[in-house]
Structure 1
Amino acid sequence: MKLKNNTLNQAIKFALATTTAGLFISGSAIAADEQSEVKVNKNVEKIAVVGTRSAPRSIGDSPVPIDIIGGEELEKSGNTDMLELLKGSVPSFNVHQNPISDAASLVRPANLRGLPSDSTLVLLNGKRRHRASVIAFLGGGINDGAQGADISVIPSIAIKQVEVLRDGAAAQYGSDAIAGVMNFQLKDASEGGKFEVRKGQYFEGDGDTTQISGNVGLPFTDSGFANLSFQYKTADATSRSVQRPDAAGFAAAGVPDVSSLAQVWGAPEVDDDISLFGNVGLDLTNNSQFYMFGNYSERDVRGGFYYRNPHTRSGVYSNDDGATLLVADLTDDMSGNCPTISITDGNVLDDPAYVNGVANNPDCFAFNEMIPGGFTPNFGGNITDTSLTIGTKGEFTDGFMKDVLYDLSGTVGLNESRYFIYNTVNASLGPDTPRDFSPGKYEQLEKNFNLDLSKGYDFGLAYDVNVAGGLEWHEETFTVISGDEASYTAGPLTAQGFGIGSNGFPGFKPSQAGEFSRRNYAAFVDVEAPFTEDFLMGLALRFEDYDSFGSTTNYKLMAQYHVTEDLNIRGSISTGFRAPTVGQANVSNVQTNLSDGVLRDSALLPPTNPVAVQLGGTELQPEESQSYTFGAVYTIGDLFLTVDYYNIQVEDRISQSEKITLSQADKDTLSAAGVPNVEGLAQVSFFTNDFDTTTQGVDVVANYTADILGGSSTFSLAYNWNETEVTKFSDITGEFKVKRLEEDLPNHRATLTWAQQWESISAFTRLNYYGEYQGVHVDYDATAKTADASVTLDAEITYFVNDSISFSVGAQNLLDQDAEKLDFQDATGIPNNNWGGKYYETSPYGINGGFYYAKATYTF
């Protein structure tokens, strides 16, 4: 029986709904002030390191918009994934669950301000974080081809606060900061700690999730700290599916071994997800400090893929869309006299020609003998992530560098993704094929060295003018490691039309394997000048040189003016860039995707491959951006309000091209040029700089504290309006992808939060509003529609037994708001997709429904 029918489940949901009824609810980027374990401290000032190279400043005095989310707020969300935690706190941050999306299921890409995941720079303790080795080959429009950092490895229990700079900052931090910057500050306490156990599942009774996490602060001699954190997590898969009509038809016709649910739409299984983070600091002298931080993280992920129909799947069962069966002659001299078998009904196994000519003929073979009911591959991988940063910072106390602050550091980061595909075949091997394969491995290695210098100079202004500068060296290496031989080899049945390699994700051949590297260095200067006590201006310049495509220079000009004691206005104008990743420039891959409702294999080629060049591919160049923001900060009493408008124009955006079907003329031309295996290609795609976009929007953040209901209350409202327009594109991008870029994300997103604290009880409630968005299923334009706006409710109640022990119950999507359901094609009631889904997968809050949990916390 599903747990949603259990008495305990109903009691928890009733208790949560009753307790939170009547509350104004939901989340904001500055939702709740920092909280002690028992009591809210309403007077904590939000101080940010990101966005400036002078002394850290209050977010209210920053000339650019910054959100700060405290570690306590993150831990109230009930989710165990950092991506989901941030989505609940930053309205302009979106992430999809990608139920069937190739490698994007392993490392989910996210969007800040409607731009892809690799347009947001991720920092850890202010240092550049390496990107993931996973490239989102099926990234669903906006993230199609993105290669961003893997934020999900960062456990919330390790975080002191997250700083979100909502402004272009490439002139300050380099490539990838077009949409903004996210800086994760690790805890740095030298004593105390926390141990937490959390258990939850979806209202549907699946997706059981267990998380055990801990944090401890230790002294590191008398002058330092060692703060250590761990998180261990497992999560069962979910399913929001119905039986596919074609699979149901086979079962009704008597075909054996048809799965009761041939294709599953839901969250993948996550097993042995472990993250270890450490943060160490040591005072060397009164004016210098040594620091070191890093992580080791690993997880196994396994999810579903598309069902292979036993009558129509090309390269395995048929090569003419199910008109005739694909039959192999197993004799050495092709003397088997294997018949041509027309598929005329729902069960070819009953056809006498099949029974006599194949099933009872040892010289002939069809995969219907081995796998009569079709098959559904499972795609998965092992993701390993490691990093280490070592540095020293302080102040020179004598000589010509006297009073200069310095920060010298080195960072190395490695992300590895070993892919696996289960329950599939290498059809060219015929009856000798294995069923499970390891198609290969990607590695992303990055090294950074930084020298930052800054000093305040007295030029007779209101305060010292801060002048900062520095140098940075960066090396990025993307490595492709070939898979096991069976995953890519061309078996003996290749010449008879059977597909090569593990079906769904063919392995990387030794010829595809290799190591691809790029180096770049940068020099930058950053000046902040307080002309008066009320007027501050800043200027940043950055020169960056890449050994692949050359150099780029970018600037940022920002200002803030205090109109009154309570009101100040701020703004910035900047240029930026995003360099193509080494992976995007060199990777090749074969994907299985739906094209016009038909399952096809498509080859992703490097843009300089002869096939790609034939179709318009060229060597990748960096994206270039121009952005500006203008806003105001208003503070009166306990009310804090910010309103900011932004406009981001990006030229020559990098993304994966449309899947291009090769005509016979294309194939003939390429064959004449000596390109091998052209006849085996159905579609190709490649990375390209093909389109320009303009993204604009408004962020509103309000925070209010008061003492009501016998306790301390914090109310927070955050609203984002975001709109992207594709201003230039060609057929290489295609109209449907343009539509996805412009319409897949809600234009309007808002959260409203009430955090309430009494002596021994706290309550946290969040109301999430998602505006209309484009519902898309199976990445196929015939299924697209405008989905309705929706509201979801999150809530958590905590009881503090004493200063050390607390218990919490909570829920995400407490009212179990469904995602937009799929329409029907016509009055016959046949689903418009025929692939077994129930909901449009672009739902901004996922397709799994409500999730409830309980947790116990011990603080020491």
Structure 2
Amino acid sequence: MKIKKNALALQIGAALQGAVLLSFSGFALAAEEDDAAKEKENVEKIAVVGSRAAPRSVGESPVPIDIIGAEEFANQGNPDMLNMLSTLVPSFNINTQAISDAATLIRPANLRGLGPDQTLVLVNGKRRHRASVIAFAGGGISDGAQGPDISVIPSVAIKQVEVLRDGAAAQYGSDAIAGVLNFQLKNDNEGGMLEAKWGQYYEGDGASETLAGNIGLPLTDSGSANFSFEYKNADPTDRSVQRSDAAALIAAGNTAVANPAQVWGSPEIKDDYKLFANLELDLKNGKEAYAFGNHASREVEGGFYYRNPNLRSGVYAGPKVTVGGVDYNTVRVGDMTPDDGNSCGPLRLDANGIPIASDLAAVTADPNCWSFVELFPGGFTPKFGGTVTDSAIAAGVKGELVDTVFFDASASYGRNEAEFKINNTVNASMGANSPTSFTPGTYVQSELGLNFDLFREFEVGLYDAVVLAGGVEWREDTFEVKAGDVASYTVGVLADQGFGIGSNGFPGFKPETAGIFSRHNLSFYTDLSNWVTESLMLNAALRYEDYSDFGDTTNWKMSGLYKLTDSISIRGATGTGFRAPTIGQSKVVNVSTLFGPNGLIDQATLPPDNPIAVQKGGKALTPEESKNISFGFVGEFGSTHVSLDMYRIDVEDRLSQTSGLELTTADIDALLALGIADATSYSSVTFFTNDFDTETTGADLVISQDLDLGSGASKLSFLMNWNKTDVTVDPTTTNIDDVKIRTLEENLPKTRGSITFNHAQDNWRALARLNYFGSFWEVDDTYDATQGMSESSAFLVDLELAYMLSSNIELIVGAQNAFDKYPGLNPYGDSVGAKYPVTSPYGFNGGYYYFRGVYTF
């Protein structure tokens, strides 16, 4: 099916899911035109799919859109989609989640310095369901975020990715505050490819093997069925130093302490497979059916904090005792038979922190007495992870409904499940009866959506036709918490003797906190677009949404583009947006082990309407509300493309977790009275709240230039983003502390950029990329906002060389971070065991080299 005016269709495509699909269906045909003038026109207006000569930003869009072709994803060594996007989009940040609770399973990412769930993700123009994991420990900026799992999308399935760098909630609804990522799937009906990839870090660890493929098949004589797969395994990395407390124990003679006692590094990923399908069928009479979906699964295992055999409360640390006039620290000893009238003596520690042999022998000999030094004499470090399963399907029909009226009717369903596992740990309250491996529970997020979109062109006597679009959307979101195995939450016989309850590090979800929580919303939206004159285009969008849990919201957007000359245009947009709090953020109960001002603490996340949360200031969540404004220019000068866009995003009532709020004895007593038997294990609580405002300002610069070097084809691309966030709080009501404020403002680099050079000649091609990361700040182990680590800016280099062995076999060798750049040493590393700053935006694993082989057919 053909749309008369591709440029206008693109604008509607930026506004509505249905129009995206309709307008893009004609783009691939345009790319095959032989006429050079027509090809140039299409490049300027619609960024021809897959064309290396096309500018990365759409030239006649009133808001900045980057077009990233499939080949740009292919020419990278790291197989993870998040890392690829971070390389290609300067305002997209991702870091290694080493010891990050549930965030280890699904890494959060940030666009324009905002939260992971403030960027909307689409696949083929349809809203992608969010992940089940809530990032309780997401490095500060991402704490509490619940965004989509982008990593389940294999790069071999992608035709192109469009990055809409502007607020778009008035078009797409909730989450589109920072921008929109739209992943367009391949739809070829013939040919395909197979790829094998192997790589590892210069340190000799973190090896990964990937096998991927794509095939296009005809679906009858008027359709296509395109299938993609990827299978990957990745070993863990280790960038640790021995903790000072562990080193002291070893020096004192405790030979059971591991070296290192605690590992900072990338987690191990096992059996990571991804399947995608994209089907299209021409139904004739101007209509087309489509369906696409995926299934993915992976197992992830990472590290946790070291449990010191002398100091860990709830497991080891006991009360001080005085024997013979001498004061001793002790290891806690539990009486497994408290009703038999017999008691257990103390287990004293000598001056070096080693159990006194006679005390240890007495405890070990008595079957009624138990200390965890019998099981883990050198302390222990839990291994945490789980299995993530992700599935989705979307199907619909689009085309011409009646004369000049086009429609898109679709339904979609997505489901993400995270089953948690924790090993090498204990339920201390069970004493000698505790297992060391647990399944503490499962989170499930599922989303159902129904859409019906319409648009039509009207001749009203202006320079060009007015395009009117509109639609209705109904969605239902469900968050489910499944209880863990009984041992993961059991209140054991030692619970009232000072031993912690539940699987240490990640206590299991109890049956009373499990449940299924749902909400639905209905939205109506419209979009108007018109070339008022030959030089001026205007867009307007309006959207109304009604949610079953918090009420309704209305958002609008205005945008425009004006051609100053045939080569230079100015553009701008302004509007409002919102992000609805997720069901998970409203209902979840969780306990995480975190590093706080006084060392490791067990921190409970409670629903904001929980009595303790209410006592600390919790109240019903409301949507975040945003205001966006952007202004820029775009220039097309022959083979040179330049765009500069400045923006400001104000977010009011921003949703996040509070900082950890210390529990008083009265708070704990109140929790116990409510039947929360493990309340004595909590050091602090947190909950979700609309507690502060942010102002984000920035600028994006994009330059691409085709080069004539005398032979071959060359291209130079320059990308730069500057981004700054300021936090505003009411000190009389806020529950976020100075550390969180400084983290929000300074943890991500304010400046990111890259220069990429591509050259192809005969059977060879080469790529060189210089990446720049500005300075950033990270909190240190003192948890003091006036200190921390200030890391300076850094340059990293990526290199790749490829050779076409035959017409369909290509061999590639490359390196990312080729000169093995690391962030500066962590000055507090011996306290926490981390050699480098753990939130470094370019990671802390060093250089990575890889080999690839690609067979096309």
Paired AA for residue 752 in structure 1: I
Give the structure 2 partner of residue 745 of structure 1: 748
Mapped partners of 1:481, 1:188: distance in 2: 38
CA deviations 1:142-166 (Å, max 9, x no partner) are 1000000000010111000000000
Distance 1:712 1:320 in 2: 74
Task: Provide TM-score, normalisation by structure 2.
Answer: 0.91
1:392-403 superposed matches below 5 A: 392-397=397-402, 402-403=403-404
| 2:366 is equivalent to residue 366 of structure 1 | no
1:776–1:840 Cα contact (<8 Å) kept: no
- Matched to 2:511, the amino acid is P
Q: CA deviation at 1:749?
A: 0.7
CA gap of 1:168–1:561, structure 2 versus 1, over 3 A, is same
Q: Deviations over 1:198-222 (max 9, x none)?
A: 0000000000100000000100000
1:837 Cα deviation after fit:
0.9
Q: Which residue of 1 aligns with 2:408?
A: 407
Q: CA RMSD in A?
A: 2.1
Question: TM-score scaled to structure 1, two decimals?
Answer: 0.91
Cα distance 1:590–1:675, how it changes in 2: closer, same or farther (>3 A)? closer
Shift of 1:775: 2.9
Instruction: In structure 2, give the amino acid aligned to 1:386.
Output: S
- Indicate the SS of the match to 1:83: helix
What is the alpha-carbon distance in structure 1 between the residues aligned to residue 179 and residue 48 of structure 2?
14
Match in the other structure for 2:358 = 352
Q: Return the match for 2:763 from 760, 763, 780.
A: 760
3-state SS in 1 of match to 2:134: coil
- Residue of structure 2 in register with 1:221 after alignment: 220
SS at match of 2:129: coil
SS at match of 2:740: helix
Amino acid at match of 2:803: Y
The Cα of 1:705 is off from its aligned counterpart by 0.4
**Aligned equivalents of 1:672, 1:273: Cα separation in 2:** 45
Q: Which amino acid aligns with 1:45?
A: V
CA contact (8 A) 2:241 2:829 kept: no
Partner of 2:816: 812
1:404-458: CA deviations, max 9, x gaps? 0100000000000000000000111111110100001000000010011000000
Deviation of 1:780 after TM superposition, in Å, equals 3.5
Equivalent position amino acid for 2:332 in 1: L
Query: Structure 1 counterpart of 2:365, which letter?
Result: N
Which among 844, 850, 853 is matched to residue 847 of structure 2? 850
Q: Single out whichever of 141-150 and 832-841 deviates more from structure 2.
A: 832-841
Q: 1:677 Cα shift? A: 5.3
Report how far residue 253 of structure 1 moved.
2.2
How many Å separate the matches in 2 of 1:598 and 1:320? 18
Deviations, residues 236-291 of structure 1 (Å, cap 9, x unaligned): 00000112222222222222422121100000000000000000000001400000
Partner SS for 1:370 = coil
Deviations 1:549-582 (A, max 9, x none): 0000000000100011111000000100000000
**Structure-2 residue corresponding to 1:690:** 691
Taking the aligned partners of 2:57 and 2:771, their CA distance within structure 1 comes to 27
Q: Per-residue displacement from partner, 1:107-134 (whole Å, max 9, x unpaired)?
A: 0000000000000000000000000000
Alpha-carbon distance between aligned partners in 2 of 1:331 and 1:437, rounded to the nearest angstrom: 24
| Secondary structure of residue in 2 paired with 1:367 | coil
1:777–1:841 CA contact under 8 A, matched in 2: no
Secondary structure at the aligned position of 1:103 is classed as helix
Distance 1:48 1:594, change over 3 A: same
Query: CA, structure 1 residues 658+367, in 2 after alignment: closer, same or farther (shift >3 Å)?
Result: same
More moved, 128-137 vs 315-324: 315-324
Matches within 5 A, 1:390-539: 390-397=395-402, 402-539=403-540
Paired position in structure 1 for 2:567: 566
Deviation (angstroms), 1:634: 1.0
Letter aligned with residue 736 of structure 1:
V
> How far off is 1:546 after superposition?
0.2
Deviation track 1:28-56 (CA, whole Å, cap 9, x = no partner) reads xxxxxx999xxxx9968273699xxxxxx
- The 5 Å alignment of 1:119-158 reads 119-158=118-157
1:332 Cα shift? 4.1
Please give the alpha-carbon distance, in whole angstroms, between the structure 2 residues aligned to 1:631 and 1:203: 42
Aligned partner of residue 525 in structure 1, secondary structure? strand
Equivalent residues of 2:412, 2:449 under 8 A apart: yes
Cα distance, 1:460 vs structure 2: 1.1
- 8 Å CA contact retained: 2:560, 2:571: yes
Q: How far apart, in 2, do the equivalents of 1:482 and 1:341 lie?
A: 36
Partner residue, 1:60: 59
2:856 counterpart residue number = 859
The match for 1:317 is 316
Residue identity in the other structure for 1:798: A
1:779-790 equivalent positions in 2, closer than 5 A: 780-781=783-784, 784-790=788-794
Contact kept, 8 Å, 2:318 with 2:333, in 1: the verdict is no
In the alignment, is the contact (CA less than 8 A) between 2:430 and 2:493 conserved in 1? Answer: yes
Q: Which amino acid aligns with 2:610?
A: N
Q: Does 1:378 align with 2:375?
A: no
Deviations 1:66-125 (A, max 9, x none): 001001011112111000000001000001111110111110000000000000000000
- Code of the residue aligned with 2:335 in structure 1: it is D
Matched position secondary structure for 1:148: coil
User: Are 1:619 and 2:620 matched, yes or no?
Assistant: yes
Q: Report if the CA contact (8 A) 1:49-1:126 is conserved.
A: no
Secondary structure of 1:486's counterpart equals helix
- State whether structure 2 residue 824 is matched by structure 1 residue 840: no
Question: Match of 2:355, SS?
Answer: helix
Cα distance in 2 for partners of 1:302, 1:680 equals: 25
Listed one character per residue, the Cα deviations across residues 631-650 of structure 1 (whole Å, up to 9, x for unaligned) are 00011111100000000000
Q: SS in structure 1 opposite 2:565?
A: coil
**Equivalent pair of 1:610/1:675 in contact (CA under 8 Å):** no
Q: Would the aligned equivalents of 1:94 and 1:844 in 2 still touch at CA under 8 Å?
A: yes
Residue type of the partner of 1:126? G
Q: Within 5 Å, give how 1:609-758 maps onto structure 2.
A: 609-667=610-668, 678-730=679-731, 731-758=734-761
Write out per-residue CA displacement over residues 738-760 of structure 1, whole angstroms, 9 at most, x where no aligned residue: 00000000011111000111111
Select which of 799, 803, 828 maps to 1:799: 803
**Count of aligned pairs between the two proteins:** 806
Q: Which has the higher contact order (CA 8 A, sep 6+)?
A: 1
Counterpart CA distance in 1 for 2:523 and 2:500 is 48
Q: Secondary structure at the match of 1:88?
A: helix
Report the AA paired with residue 852 of structure 2: K
Tell me if the contact between 1:775 and 1:820 (Cα under 8 Å) persists in the aligned partners: no
Please list, as runs of the form range in 1=range in 2, the aligned pairs for 1:62-461 lying within 5 A after superposition: 62-319=61-318, 323-333=329-339, 335-356=341-362, 358-397=363-402, 402-461=403-462
Q: Deviations over 1:582-619 (max 9, x none)?
A: 00000000111111141111111000000100000001
Identity of aligned residues (%): 51
Q: Where in structure 1 are there 5+ consecutive unaligned residues?
A: 1-33, 51-56, 824-830
| Aligned 8 A contact 1:312 1:320 in 2 | no
* 1: CA distance, partners of 2:838 / 2:672: 39
Segment drifting more, 347-356 vs 570-579: 347-356
Q: Distance in 2 between matches of 1:791 and 1:70?
A: 25
* CA deviation map 1:831-859 (0-9, x unaligned): 45512110001111000000000000001
Contact persistence 1:776–1:842 (CA under 8 A)? no
1:374-407 C-alpha deviation (Å, 9 max, x unpaired): 100000110000000010000124xxxx210100
| 1:820–1:843 Cα contact (<8 Å) kept | no
